Amino acid sequence: MRPPLSVLIVEDSRTQAALLRFVLEHAGWRTTVAEHAAAALDCLHAALPDLIVCDDQMPGMSGLQLLHTVQQNPATRAVPFVLTTASDTPDLAQAALAAGARAVLPKPISPEQLQPLLATLTALSPPESPA
């Protein structure tokens, strides 16, 4: 049996972070939550996740700025990055994809669509759910 995939959730909204964590853990993923970009960078120095799911609008460094930082570091560049946003500005999505994001998900995020998308983005099937 393969160990669970790990996802770093970067989200300043406790409600959104809890929703993402619940959905992913229920599907068998191992999650870490960072409330802002600086905490996410600390997490990335400690251990590389299989995927990063990051909100764009956060205090301090935005999700797009964090994406640029992740892409500039050879140690983190290969980690798939998904940006989530409540903004419907096409420029943001285009900028994120051009910067290396694998996807941009509009909020509110549909729990039914999130887990299969993450499995596709990591090119790995999700771990088996506990019975």
94 part of a folded domain: yes
CB half-sphere exposure, 75, CA atoms < 13 A: 8
Question: Is residue 32 included in any domain, yes or no?
Answer: yes
Is residue 100 one of the residues assigned to a domain?
A: yes
Provide the pLDDT confidence category of residue 2 given band limits of 50, 70 and 90: low
User: How many CA atoms does the CB half-sphere of 80 hold within 13 Å?
Assistant: 17
Q: At 120, list the tokens.
A: 């596709």
Q: Given pLDDT bands bounded at 50, 70 and 90, which one contains residue 129?
A: very low
Residue 64 falls within a domain, yes or no?
Answer: yes
10 has which bridge partners?
A: 34, 54
The total of structural domains in the chain comes to 1
State the chain's mean pLDDT as an integer: 87
Task: Provide the edge-to-edge strand list for the sheet that holds 103-106.
Answer: 30-34, 6-10, 51-55, 81-85, 103-106
CATH code of residue 71: 3.40.50.2300
The pTM of the full predicted model, rounded to 2 decimals, is 0.88
